[in-house]
Amino acid sequence: MTEIAFLFAEITTEAGYSGIGFGYSKRAGGPGMYAHAKEIADELIGEDPSDIGKIWDKLVWAGASMGRTGLTTQAIAAFDIALWDLKAKRAGLPLAKLLGAHRDAVRCYNTSGGYLSMPLEQVLENVTTSVARGIGGIKIKVGQPDVKEDLRRVEAVRHHLGDTFPLMVDANQQWDRATALRVGRALERFDLTWIEEPVDCYDAEGHARLAATLDTPIATGEMLTSIDEHWNLIRQDASDFVQPDAPRVGGITPFLRIMALADHRKLSLAPHFAMEIHLHLAAAYPGITWLEHFEWLEPLFNERLELRDGHMTVPDRPGLGFSLSEQARAWTSDRVTVTEPRV
Active site residues: 141, 272
Q: Please calculate the CA angle 335-339-343 and round it to the nearest 5 degrees.
A: 110
Q: What is the CA radius of gyration of the chain?
A: 20
DSSP 193: S
Q: List the beta bridge partners of residue 6.
A: 24
What percentage of the chain's residues is helix, strand, coil (to nearest 5)? 45, 15, 40
Q: Distance from CA of residue 245 to its chain's centroid?
A: 3
Q: Burial, 26: exposed, middle or buried (Cβ in 10 Å; 0-12, 13-18, 19+)?
A: exposed
Q: Burial, 2: exposed, middle or buried (Cβ in 10 Å; 0-12, 13-18, 19+)?
A: exposed
301 and 326 in contact (C-beta within 8 Å)? no
For 307-310, the CB contacts below 8 A with 24+ separation are 307/108, 307/133, 307/134, 307/135, 308/105, 308/134, 309/134, 309/136, 310/107, 310/108, 310/134, 310/135, 310/136, 310/137
Query: Cα torsion for 115, 294, 72, 207, to the nearest 10°?
Result: 50
